[in-house]
Structure 1
Amino acid sequence: MNPSFKSNGVEVIALVLVAIVVGVPTALSTFEHSSRNVVIGAHNATVQPTFDGYATVDFGPVLPRMRVPANQPLGLGVDIDLGDSDVSDIDQLLARDALIASQPRGEIAKITGTLVDMARDAVLRGLGTAILSVLAIVLAWRAVGPDRRAAIRSHAVSPTRNQVIGGVAAGATGLAALILIAVPERPRTSADAIGEQWSKLTVVIPNLPADKVLDTVQISQGAASKGGAAVIEGAVTTYRTSVEFYGKLAKEARTVPIRTPGEGETTALVVTDRHDNIGMDAPARAIADQARASLLIDLGDDTSSGGKWEAFSINSLARAFNGFEIVAVAGNHDTGPFISKTMASEGFNVLDGKPIDIDGIRFLGSSDPRSSGLTAGYTGDESDSIAAIRKQDEALTKAVCDDGSVSVLIAHSPSAVKQAAASGCVDLVLTGHLHRQVGPDVVFGANGRNTVTLSTGSTGGAVYAFALGSKLRRPAQVAVVTFKDGRPVGVQPVDFSTGGQVTAQAYVPIVLSDR
């Protein structure tokens, strides 16, 4: 074998080992000591990865910490430090947290995505550090020249005492540099390292009903756990009530006879005015599955105030209808840029007054231009709201008639589409806002064509702008729309009662006018 080839092979292996020794510890340390500020549920929160195998939630000094097994590879876990919220009453705040925890998929996906982002950043830092280290060694090795390299190899075989001391010093200096690179900017203390003791929730609060999630929950021991036991028990009761009610409602929805699409037909599910009630997402999805729907039409007011803390509502809807195409507009209670941006970031097709083709169906619509008394920007001037709605109606009417081939027009409020419906330029107009069903009605257009209008009731069962609760506050509703050849051919509303019954109304065919 050529000696130079053998020498080059050894050098390559050495460089690979250097890259691994430098890059892997740097990436691991960077990841473990990373943190991100995110909004989780009703809180501003800080998320930090751990390797203790648990998802641990810190509620602050008043309440005990809680944890559940993360069940992830390599013992991966997460610490979640909950911060400020818009709610000052602790009982109300914990009740809200418990309701969100009863439908956790959206928030789990958000935390998982945050951890993935941190892991990617850590890997890139480790890779960059490894590349720089290898590059520095290669450049230094090349810079000394062939004669000096030969001498170094010779001395490496039989080093003198001073050379050994120098080599050790150089190695220690390099190791110190690596530690400075890899060590986090701030220290962190493991709860287990300071002797924190944990007990099962079922031990602290006896006589809890059997629940596969609650059975895995542990809480930290101390003054907070003793003082907060009653508050925690109330939150657990809220959680259990919500899980049971909406779980049974979803189960009931899976048995309701819904018209299924015939040959060449497709279906879409309509939701509106959820007002943060993520408990209804699973029952709504069950109806969509019964109807074999692959498209979701969201008519807005997914929140109560459009606040950042309400991102959980959009997260939940996105997770519940994962794999669906989603067409959406924001409502007057979603006012502000945050909710629309969150919808778009979750893959929703947020309509902006221009026609769009989705699954062969031509849609047009826009978000509600008004504010509500709970949202930022509200002035209380009714004339401003009336003028804004009229302007929206005029713009939508012009857009839908100029296009001439729009099948479905969507808006949050029926007031925003009165002229458009009367124009006869569209087959179907879908709205919400009223929290009650109106229609389906046929409007005879000025151009001789018919338009069908339908306002769907609140999917969240909302009272005013509030729907989040352990049970339905008011009856709720979704609607199924059937399409053929890109045009609507029928609608079927589905009702949910406060007692847990699910009833499908009769399917109503849509008689289309010639275009």
Structure 2
Amino acid sequence: MWLVTALVVGSVLFLNSSRTVPVAGHDAVVSPTLSSHAVFETGPVLPDVRFDLPGRLGVTIVLGKTEAESTEELFARYALIASNVEPQVATVRDAMVELALASALRGIAAGSLPVILYLLLGPAGRRDVWEELRRLRPRPLLAVALVVAAVVALWQPWRSEEPEVARSRSWMSVQEFLGEGIPVPEQAKGIELSADSTAAGTQRLIGSALDTYAKSQDFYDAAVESAADLDLREPRDDETVVLLVSDRHDNVGMDRVARAVADRAGATGVFGGGDDTSTGKAWEAFSLDSLDKTFRGMDRWFVTGNHDHGSFVGDYLADKGWEKLDGEVVEGPGGGTLLGFPDPRSSGLGSWRDEKGISFGEAAEKVADVACESQEAGERVNTILVHDANLGEVALERGCADLVLGGHTHVPSGPTPFDGEAGQLGYSYTNGTTGGAAYAIAVGSKPRRDASLTLVTYDGAGRPAGIQLVTLLTDGRFRVEPYDRLALPQGV
């Protein structure tokens, strides 16, 4: 009785459940079905999309609010996300698993109620109830009627799975929808579109998105393949290598390239230098999902940048298991010490910046104070991670850190030596834009400008030993800079 009740109730609850998650830059409602299809309901203007799934289970994804400024921008974003779609698939899959587990738990709880009643009555009580039911014929009928009514109320068979318009729509392949004049990538040939929106403008947008997707796939696939053969410095057994990425600005296509470079270099950790988004809004969760999935299994530290303004980016990555650096000295790569501080400024999509909370200068003094206090306590800070390397310059001038890492300018520079007040040597280094972004925008079939990745090597004591810059050029070629050894004195 427990098993049957749990299965029936759990299944009914699951098939009538839903969850809101960020998908492709939208607030999206995810609902399980028995259609064997993944169906994207895109709204009243654009055609709905579906493709086959293995097995009996399906899913409907109703795309809701987003913050794209135009339909063209929206389709360009779709194409970019599709070039690294697995994090979005994982988001939907996780939502489905959570719905299934929640429904199963409720089903198990519901199934336990008759069992508990059965056990509470005991043999004598059950005999008394049975005898009472046998004497009064209408009661068994009433009991059966109540059970049937409860099942029907949960099942609600009168509810249509789809509204009338959705049931009446017809489907055609994407190639049929676009016509033979527009080539469709092999990966997209199984996609079907609803045939009730066939405006020429929509066809052009979809064709453009598919073209961007195909070019993006080819560009980043080739880059990943080339990364495996890069001539990078091989770390010694006692050394630790960390990859520095910054200023991704939603370019999820570069993430798998960055991971390929990290794997080739033997990196075991990653520094996130900020500006992973362009506005810091929830619709950009797709970029953070990609960052998280790409570097899963590595040690991960991050700070937020001026474009990551607000609490969303920091909280989202921290919930994913990234270590958020927020003004305290923590253990860093190779057992060394690491200090990070978020950028005190905020930006929109323009070139202007506002300061929030404390000024940039005050933040720089605070970073230096924390680093110098740690040094006075006998623990020198080996690395300061900030979004803008200028935020760590005061600490270097006061001789309280070995290396400051940043980004922000979209142009790599350094390592630049600094002599501290008491002669302590430190370095400042700025990574370029990992997303290949021009200003805060990195959407396109390839980077808009040269994309920078930096490998930071630490010795057996956790002190920075050297830096190597790797650049993916806009023509798809890699440029690997010579390894820059950091001449830090021993014992400082």
Q: 1:349 to 1:445 in 2, by over 3 A?
A: same
Pick from 188, 194, 210 the counterpart of residue 167 of structure 2: 194
Specify the alignment match of 1:220 in structure 2. Answer: 194
Superposed CA deviations along residues 177-229 of structure 1, whole A, max 9, x for unmatched, are 23324549975328999354322223333355564421221222224577732
493-502 or 216-225, larger mean C-alpha shift: 216-225
The answer to whether the Cα contact below 8 Å between 1:278 and 1:468 also exists between their aligned partners in 2 is no
Aligned mate of 1:63, from 25, 46, 50: 46
- Of residues 164, 169, 179, the one that matches 2:152 is 179
Contact conserved, 1:365 with 1:410, CA < 8 A, in 2? yes
CA distance in 2, matches of 1:280, 1:194: 40
Matched residues in 2 for 1:244 and 1:146: separation?
71
**Distance change (3 Å), C-alpha of 1:69 and 1:191:** farther
Verify: 1:502 aligned to 2:485, yes or no.
Answer: no
Q: Distance in 2 between matches of 1:185 and 1:295?
A: 55
Distance 2:289 2:386 in 1: 21
Q: How far is 1:487 from its partner?
A: 1.3
Instruction: Give the aligned residue type for 2:319.
Output: S
User: Cα gap change, 1:466/1:184 in structure 2, threshold over 3 Å: closer, same or farther?
Assistant: farther
Q: Is 2:425 the counterpart of 1:454?
A: no
The counterpart of 1:445, out of the listed 407, 413, 420, is 420
Aligned to 1:393: 364
- C-alpha distance in structure 2 between counterparts of 1:420 and 1:482, whole Å: 21
Residue in 2 that maps onto 1:39:
22
> Paired residue for 2:411, among 425, 436, 439?
436
Of residues 281, 290, 298, the one that matches 1:307 is 281
Instruction: Give me the whole-angstrom Cα distance separating, in 1, the residues matched to 2:353 and 2:79.
Output: 37
Match of 1:325 in 2: 299
The percent identity for this pair of structures is 34
Q: 2:261 aligns with which of 261, 284, 287?
A: 287
Change (3 A) 1:262 1:50: same
Of 275-284 and 42-51, more deviation after overlay is shown by: 42-51
Which of 9, 16, 24 in structure 1 is aligned with 2:7?
24
Residues 489, 510 of structure 1: 8 Å contact kept: yes
Q: Does residue 493 of the first structure (1) align with residue 473 of the second (2)?
A: no
Give CA deviations for 1:249-278 in whole Å, capped at 9, x if unaligned. 222222211112112112110000111111
Distance in 2 (alpha carbons) for counterparts of 1:434 and 1:194: 52
Indicate if the aligned counterparts of 2:43 and 2:63 stay in contact, CA closer than 8 A. yes
In the alignment, structure 2 segments of 5+ residues that lack a partner are none
Query: Residue in 2 aligned with 1:475?
Result: 450
Aligned match for 1:372, one of 315, 337, 347: 347
Aligned to 1:340: 314
Give 1:267's aligned amino acid.
V
- In the other structure, the counterpart of 2:245 is 271
**Residues 12 and 154, structure 2, Cα contact 8 Å, conserved in 1:** no
- Report the more deviating stretch, 309-318 or 108-117: 108-117
Give the counterpart of 1:89 among 70, 79, 91. Answer: 70
Opposite residue 188 of structure 1, the aligned amino acid is E
Structure 1 unaligned regions, length at least 5: 1-17
What's the offset of the Cα at 1:297?
Answer: 0.4
CA distance in structure 1 between the aligned counterparts of 2:200 and 2:19, rounded to whole angstroms:
31
TM-score by length of 1: 0.88
Match of 1:246 among 220, 224, 247: 220
Q: What secondary structure does 1:242 align onto? A: helix
1:148-178 deviation line (CA, Å, top 9, x unaligned): 26847xx9xxx68x64x64243222122123
Report Cα offsets for 1:342-376 as digits up to 9, x if no partner: 1101111110100111452321111101111449x
CA contact (8 A) 1:366 1:410 kept: yes
Q: 1:183 to 1:258 in 2, by over 3 A?
A: farther
SS in 1 for 2:428: strand
Give the equivalent residue in structure 2 for 1:11: none
Task: Note closer, same or farther for the CA distance 1:255–1:185 as it changes in structure 2 (3 Å cut).
Answer: farther
Query: Do the aligned partners of residues 341 and 474 (structure 1) sit closer, same or farther apart at CA in structure 2, a change above 3 Å counting?
Result: same
Give the whole-Å Cα distance in 1 for the aligned partners of 2:283 and 2:324. Answer: 20
Q: Which amino acid aligns with 2:113?
A: L
Off by >6 Å, runs of 4+ in structure 1: 190-193
The amino acid of 1:313's aligned partner reads S
Q: Check the 8 A contact 1:389/1:415 in 2, yes or no.
A: no
Are residues 77 and 426 of structure 1, via their aligned partners in 2, closer, same or farther at CA, if it must alter by over 3 Å? same
The one-letter code matched in structure 2 to 1:86 is E
**Matched position secondary structure for 1:429:** strand
User: Which is greater in Rg?
Assistant: 1
| Distance in structure 2 (CA, Å) of the matches to 1:494 and 1:146 | 77
CA distance in 2, matches of 1:184, 1:331: 51
Note the C-alpha offset of 1:336: 0.3
Matched ranges for 1:414-425 at <5 A: 414-425=389-400
Q: For the Cα contact (< 8 Å) 1:33–1:188, is it kept in 2?
A: no
What is the identity, as a one-letter code, of the residue corresponding to 1:99?
A: L
Look up the match of 1:116: 97
Judging changes above 3 Å, is the alpha-carbon distance between structure 1 residues 90 and 150 closer, same or farther for their aligned structure 2 residues?
closer
Q: Provide the TM-score with structure 2 as the length reference.
A: 0.92
Q: How many pairs align?
A: 484
1:15 alignment partner in structure 2: none
Question: Is contact 1:478–1:495 with CA below 8 Å preserved after alignment?
Answer: yes
